[in-house]
Amino acid sequence: MSTQPEALRLADELDGTVKTGYWEAAAELRRLHSVNAELLEAAEDAVNRITSQLKLLRCDDEFIAHETQKLRFAIAKAQE
> Average pLDDT in the 36-59 region?
96
1 pLDDT higher than 60: no
Q: Could you read off the pLDDT of 3-12 as tens digits, one per residue?
A: 888 888 888 8
Q: What pLDDT score was predicted for residue 49?
A: 96
Q: What pLDDT score was predicted for residue 21?
A: 74
Give the angle 3-23-76 at the CA atoms, nearest 5°: 30
Q: What are the domain boundaries of the chain? A: 6-78
Percentage of the chain beyond pLDDT 90 is: 60
Q: Could you read off the pLDDT of 10-38 as tens digits, one per residue?
A: 888 887 776 767 888 888 889 999 999 99
